[in-house]
Structure 1
Amino acid sequence: MTNSYWLSSSGQFAFGFYKTQNNGYEVGIWFEKINQKTVTWTANRDGPPISNDVLLILRSEGRLVLQDEQGLQKALIANSSQPAASASMLDSGNFVLYNSNSTIIWQSFDHPTDTLLPGQSLVAGNQLVSAVSKTNHSTGRFRLQLQTSGNLGQYLATFQGGFLPEQEYWTSDTEGDNLSLNLDSNGQLYLVNSTGFNIKNVIEGRSLVMCRLTIDVDGIFRLYSHNLVQNSSWFVEWSSTTNLCAPIGLCGINSYCQLINQEPVCLCLPGLDYIDKNQKTLGCNRNSTIEGCDKAVSIAELDGLRWEPDTYEFLSLVDKDTCKQSCLNECNCQAAFSNRNGCYKQKFPLRFAKAGRIGFDTTIIKVHNGSNSFINTDAGTSKHVKKEHRIDTLIIGLTCTSFSLIIILFSLFFLCRNYFRPSENELDSKNDKEVLSLKSFTYHQLELATNGFNEQLGRGAFGTVFKGILPYGDRAIAVKRLEKVAAEGEVEFRNEMRSIGRTHHRNLLRLLGFCHEGSNRLLVYDFMSNGSLANFLYKSEVKPSWNERVCIAQGIARGLLYLHEECENQIIHCDINPNNILIDENHCAKIADFGLAKLLMPDQTRTMTGIRGTRGFVAPEWHKNMAITAKADVYSFGIVLLVITCCRPHVDVNVPEKEAILVDWVCECFKANEVRNLVQDEEVNMLEFEKIVKIGVWCIQEEPSIRPGMKKVVSMFEGSVDIPVPPSLSSYGSDSNSQLLHG
């Protein structure tokens, strides 16, 4: 094959045909100036190898194709909707197509494979996927994905749908809309939003001659540098983990990773053998079959291992010995996992092993007595506990016959019933397609995570919130159990799924997942260490400072602006109050509890509904049978703003009677130009204090049309608009000043 590649102007990069391990060819881009011809991009990476009798042809309609000697198209390399005039291999490592105006209409940088180069960005929703091996650049097993929520994480490539921390083996732990991952020439890797604001530096840069970021075949994300000196090689500047066994899924089914001589080795569980001894990463299977309950079986223990949570039965708060005995006594139990929360039984195959806590996490495997189950690992030491099961054959026969007859009768009944009625799962799956970014939990998983729903965090109109910990990790969560699922609870559940599942903002509480199993409806959120705004304001040992409170108020305003005007569909929260606003460890406000939200479609601006919300924070229009708009949230926000400003409840029986109702007291002081009386003995910026009180009074105007919209409120906070004196609360829009604030 002659003229098989095209160099960039400096000769640093080449685009063209490179040889594969099976003597075929692929089309790609690689570093050409160094001894290691490292591939950075491959076209059609999962396509068949290319023969040596093809050509790359750029067609005028905007397609770069592989064509054989007979003129037949063999593969499409690049495709643009615009006509193409030329192509170029740039010194950045980017291969581009131009139109007649020299505008780029297609570029390889927009279609990364396993590598990011300086000047290249990874946008939200895109991913890097590892290669199969160093010589086979087909799609491998691991991926680095920038989720639409703004989190950058590494996962096994086969994971679908929502992602949880238990599935991540590395994460940036960031969130936000329209983020992109960028690498500069100094090796700095950073996340920015659409306005160019730097969200996080993943890697701090330093002066590098040449660099690349690659998710390697072992699942680890690494920054490499090269000094371009003859005979030198790539140097690892940074890696996402130094634990070579960390990537989840590195070893296949029924196997786990152990470092031997600093190299990761996949080992089989007791009583199992490799599927292929030449490819140990494929996993393991049983070397003998355990059938029924009449075989002599044993229990092998491995300390300090965790597995994918795929439990068919959970036993809450039982010890390890009880867990072992329960598994031995049950024919279907092939393995179990025991920790401080209890025992959950599993069937083979076991997947995605990772290191757990020695002395706390125990894997229990049922093996045939003839199997060798004595294995020592870095994760812990396995133990062999023998117990024979001998059950009378006649009893088994009679029991199995009777049980089979019952199963046949029930099967006929359900077959006839389901023939005429679609299953609940089919109906639910159509609705759940809208929430692909969320994780679906089983009820047992959440029962385990919350230790049997033991620690209650709070209770609302529709359900109770419990604290928990993800079963296979240490991340704290809050689980909201909905209790009126037969009526409004079902509607609430669907509202939360549709609204929160599509919304991501710094000031919104992150929804991790849900449980929709039988009559159980549960929602899983991030846990907020500082609790609710109410507790933060009234029950903290140290009163939050004025500046902290201002930042919290601004965060709530920005979160509401997002719900009202910036997310895909307008969301009216309907219950903004200090108990539905949570405070994280950094004192950032998170709006929570969208169960009362009314999701408006694009052609709707108002909705009629029953009275909702919390007494004292409900807008007047709720009681007047008026249409409810986003201005109802503005009113509730106004009350919350005054509560934050004065750092006291909206009703307080422990103060003089004239001060008991906060709104009345604020309006009286404001009207008398005595706002200073609201401050008490606190040191505050009085100009800022008066400004925020003025914003609050505007928000609680009785007539909805007079209240500002949240966009105007945010502008008031930022000082980009003047704040006129608000009208009297008894006024209904006759005051000319009100026209300045229509939202």
Structure 2
Amino acid sequence: MACMACLLLALAFVAAEAQQMQSNISRGSSLTPTTNSTWLSRSGLYAFGFYRQGNGFAVGIFLAGITEETVVWTANRDDPPVSKNATLRFTGDGLALPTAESPNYFVKSSGSASYASMLDSGNFVLYNSGREIVWQSFDHPTDTLLPSQRLLSGDELFSAKSEADHSTGIFRLKMQNDGNLVQYPVDTPDIGVYAFYASSTGGKGENVTLNFGADGHLYLLNSTGSNIRNITDGGFPTDEGKLYLMRIDADGIFRLYSHDLKKNATWSIEWVSSKDKCVPKGLCGLNSYCVSIDLQPDCRCLPGFESVNQGNQTSGCERNFVADACKNRNENFTYTMEELQSTTWEDVSYMSLRLSDKDDCIQGCLEDGNCEAAFFDGTNCRKQRLPLRYGRRDMGTSNIALIKVGVPTKPDTDPRIVQPGSKKKGRTDILIIGLSFTAFGSILSVISVIVLWKQNVWAYKRMSAVNGDLELNESVAPRRYAYEELEKMTNNFEEELGKGASSTVYKGLILGSQKPVAVKRLEKVAAEGETEFQTEIRVIGRTHHKNLVRLLGYCLDGPKKLLVYEYMSNGSLADVLFTRERQPFWEERMGIARNIARGFLYLHEECDTQIIHCDIKPQNILLDEFMCPKISDFGLAKLLKADQTRTTTGIRGTKGYVAPEWHRKMPITVKADVYSFGIVLLEIICCRRNVDWSLPEEEAILDELASHCFENGELGKLAGDEEIERRQFERMIKVGLWCIQDEPTLRPSMKKVLLMLEGTVDIPTPPNPSSFFSAI
């Protein structure tokens, strides 16, 4: 009997070993998205492998034992999806996709890995030959915790972008070193003003961890093992048919979920960090605020603003057509203050005044060119610049937000603007027809007035410069001037504004109105035929955007070729950026960068004829009286036909800003402009020239210095004495480094650049700009 018992024990041991081996993954194993795509846990509840994301596949851990796909961990979550032809291999160093250059590791072990296992706890583990753990997914959580998993002191969970996109979103939950469990928006420092949830356990012990029990109990333990706070009470059923997970969701709230495995059930919410879905800061983007409607969050724009992207609430709002003087330089503006009651916002005021009268606060902001909004609480008036963020409706506050809004005004007696009863042909006929139906009642009268107002704006904006003012012009083309006119306007080219390699710019005054203009005399244009020159003038003359200098006219008189532009009173970006006493503050510089990007997005993707500027540099970006940047100098611009995406041309542009493909005689695309913009962006960030040989040799070239400092974690060297939030500074440097990649296809489009500058998309870590070519 004893021998029989020993035999049964041995068989049981062998069976257990065999069962364990069946759940192990041996070194050399591989997965592909379409065949053999996962490694299952022993019960089949969890799987490690490929799952569908967007147009490709991601690698992660998900619940395979339920019908509702639930991802609990994602590897390299901010990398683009891989194709269906990818192969994930398990080697001694971890799990990687082999590439021609080097393996792309999804899991990197701390020691030589011999085998792996997908456990029924949801933990994917790599072991060495001594059965010691050399890597486990529980140590690297993304947005989810599973029972028995901990969030260690100093670690964070980051929300996903959406339920369908598991890349890093805009919220984080941090187990702070001071013992406090706190939620923040991403890219903010760990300070209370940015928190929107906290466990209030700061200072109650060292090395505090967030723990997750099998019964749904979330609690905090200090280094001695003492429970210092219950996040949830726990005590939920723990039978084998019940599953729990805790997740920080894409909306910024973290929740405890349960799922009954015995029934055809869905996830149930057992606990939430907040029932008010407007609590997470940043749920609504810049210049918008959150309102709860039927317990669901709704993002509203500030008065005078409209949504940047109707389908994406986090994209925020921008000034609408009539409110932004920077967009409507042809309009005369008066400013008013619109009130917004019962809202709270981030307070980054640059000035606080002790005032008890709201009207005094309004007047103080109206008279201050820097003030774009003010918060009034009955005793203080706090002036702010845009953008406003972290707005939400709060009926418990007496705070009044006062928003500066521009309203266009035009004299009613101006004969050049179409008036009621006008006999002019064209679209004004619509107006006459509308007015003729007033007998039908007041509603149609109101409609007619609206049509009239819109028609007036339309007519006003379709005027071109002549005799000091504007006249109706169907072609919207620049006016052709006689050379003698420009001589008189510039007083025989007396006052020089600036000089370039092939042109000189003079200040002029339009005859009659004395309105200032900039007259650019081209001196080296022999290679340009008259037909091509005139074609370019007409195309560029029809490009109308708030961030492009408006071309008012031109002169083509034999060899004499001149351009007439609107006058920019603050000179060039170079004048401001590289003059210490004129340098704008960080937020103003970032606003300038975003507006420049908007101008190039228009040239590249939104105007009728795609334009590659070919000569982007601070000297060619001018600033009006409102410090609104406008792109100028299209003398080297290349116009692409409708069926073109690239062109071949000789080297253009300015040394230090020219993309590498110019020198390699490669076809040029809009990505050449992206490269030059990246150099300018680094100059804007650091307030210095890209090439400055007055500095030590290792610091003389800014783009090389920025790449070196980024790779070595020494960005403080670039910031100088200015106090800039570290995450914001790093984010902007990353945008610049992506733009100046040697390989054009690696550079983002200008649309993606703008999204990155606005903070609405995540920015992966850029490679060394020259690494692509140094590797081949």
TM-score by length of 2: 0.47
TM-score by length of 1: 0.49
